[in-house]
Every structure is written in C-alpha cells, then in structure tokens.
Structure 1
Amino acid sequence: MSDALKALNNLRTLRAQARDIEVVVLNEMLEKFAVVVAERREEAAAENAAQREKDEKLALYKEMLLNDGIDISELAQLKQTGTKPKAKRAPRPAKYKFIDEDGNEKFWTGQGRTPSPIKSALDAGGSMDDFLI
C-alpha cells in the first residue's frame, strides 16, 4: 500500500490534513471518493456474479457427468493421454568434411553457420564441392 493510501486510511492523519483544507474542497473530495468506491463496488459485484455463474455451470456439468456415469477423474485422464509429446527430429547426416584449426577432421551438415575453415576457403575462391564427403 502506498504512503498516500496509508494516510487516507488513518483517521488521525486525515483529521490533521483536513484542518488546512476548506470544507467546500473536502466535500468535492468526498464526492469523488464516493464515485470511486461505487465503481469499485460495481466491479466487485460483477466479479462475484461471474464467479457464481462459473460455479453454477461447473456444478451442472458435474451433475451431467454423474448422470451419464462418467467420473471426473476419467475426464481428466483424457486430457493427459490426448496430447502427444512432440517428436524430435532425427539429426541430419553430414554432407561436408573439413579440417579445423587444430588439425582435427570435422563434419558439417550444410545447415547453420558455415564453419570458419570452409568460409575462409570459400572466400579464397574455393568451392563447396571441395568439401563434399
């Protein structure tokens, strides 16, 4: 809660602050505060009504399931078995072979960033065919 709201919630602080404010201004503040409170009450009532409606629908669906002989746990199992895990793609076979900076033989599928030894050879005028397996 902010300091301003804490001050509004404290009667002593309100009395001390109100001594320096004219009654007309206090009445204007009271009217504005009443509008804010009324709006907040309407929002809360709407939220409560929506929650009651949702609870009534859930009770109705539960009753319908029980009348049809379906247990709620069976319904929950449908969701778990209905989704299949995403199959992971098989790794691609290597298409190119090159020697890295350490002298080790390496392989590249041709996808992704071009390895630096192949890139430097291409920049020097070489061809990708030179690296085919």
Structure 2
Amino acid sequence: MNENYLEVIKILSSKRRVNAFVRELSFEQIEQIISNLQDASVERIATLEKERQQEQERNEKLKTYIEMMKKDGIDVEDLLGATQAKGVERKDRLPKVKKEPKYEYTREDNTVAYWTGQGRTPKAIAQAIQSGQSLEGFLIQK
C-alpha cells in the first residue's frame, strides 16, 4: 500500500482524526464524502455477500460429490492418491524426438556450438548474416 492510502486509513479509523479532518471541509464536501463512502460500503457488502454465497454453493457441491463417491464406494483419500500418483505417463503424448543440428558455428569464447535451425538464431550466426555471410556457410558437412 502506498503512503497516501495508509494515511487515509489512519484518519478514517480514528474518530478524533475524522473530526479534525472535517473541520476543514465545507458542508457540501462532507455530504459528498459521506455519499461516496455509503455507495462504496453498499458495493463492498454486496461483493462480500456474493463471495459468501459462491463459497456456500461450492461447499454444498463438495458435500454432494463426497456423498456420491461414498455411495459408489470411493474413498476421498483414494481419489487424492490417484490424482497425485507419480510416474503416471500420458498415453496420448508422443515422446519428444531430439532434432539433429544442421548448423555449426563458433561462439565469442571460441567454443564450437550447434544449432538445429529452429528457435532463436544464435548471436554469432545472426551477426555473420548481417555482415553478408550466408546461412549455408554454417551447414554441417555430412
């Protein structure tokens, strides 16, 4: 929270500070502040009530699901264990195939590196292309 926000909370939380604050205001300003606070309060209460209602509905659904599972002979702990099982492989996913590098280049630190041609172009290759060299010059000879 920023300092101004904290200062407003400090003033509004103390009756003595509120009295000192409103002494400096016109009647119209006080009425406007009261109206704004009432509107904000009504909105906040409505939001809290809606959240409470959603939480209550969620809890009722959970109770219903638990009862359904009990009826079918499923224990909640069994369900949690099944969803958290380690090493469960997805059958619908193909294994990743490592691509063979197509290009060979020398880094700034004079180490040799390889690039498959996919993803971001390595800095050394990008600089060489900008200076007029061709990408084919980096192809690995097989």
Query: What band does the TM-score fall into relative to the shorter chain?
Result: 0.5 to 0.7
| 2:117 aligns with one of 82, 86, 111 | 111
Aligned to 1:13: 17
Alignment CA distance shift 1:45-1:96 (3 Å): closer
User: Per the alignment, in what secondary structure is the counterpart of residue 21 of structure 1?
Assistant: coil
Alignment CA distance shift 1:83-1:2 (3 Å): farther
5+ residue gaps, structure 1: none
Q: Deviations over 1:42-66 (max 9, x none)?
A: 1111110110110111011111111
- 2: CA distance between counterparts of 1:99 and 1:42? 65
Taking only the aligned residue pairs, the percentage that are identical comes to: 19
| 1:89 aligns with one of 84, 92, 96 | 96
- 2: CA distance between counterparts of 1:47 and 1:90? 47
Aligned to 2:141: 132
- 2: CA distance between counterparts of 1:59 and 1:14? 47
Aligned to 2:53: 49
Could you tell me whether the CA contact under 8 Å between 1:98 and 1:131 is conserved in 2? no
Could you tell me whether the CA contact under 8 Å between 1:97 and 1:132 is conserved in 2? no
Q: Give the TM-score normalised by the residue count of structure 1.
A: 0.66
RMSD: 4.0
Aligned to 2:68: 64
Could you tell me whether the CA contact under 8 Å between 1:95 and 1:109 is conserved in 2? yes
- 2: CA distance between counterparts of 1:21 and 1:83? 69
Could you tell me whether the CA contact under 8 Å between 1:65 and 1:71 is conserved in 2? yes
* Farther-moved stretch of structure 1 (38-47 vs 26-35): 26-35
Counterpart residue type for residue 84 of structure 1: R
Which has the greater radius of gyration? 1
User: Per the alignment, in what secondary structure is the counterpart of residue 35 of structure 2?
Assistant: helix
- 2: CA distance between counterparts of 1:63 and 1:96? 61
Alignment CA distance shift 1:132-1:71 (3 Å): same
Q: Deviations over 1:40-92 (max 9, x none)?
A: 11111111011011011101111111111101122223323466397763433
Q: Give the TM-score normalised by the residue count of structure 2.
A: 0.62
5+ residue gaps, structure 2: none
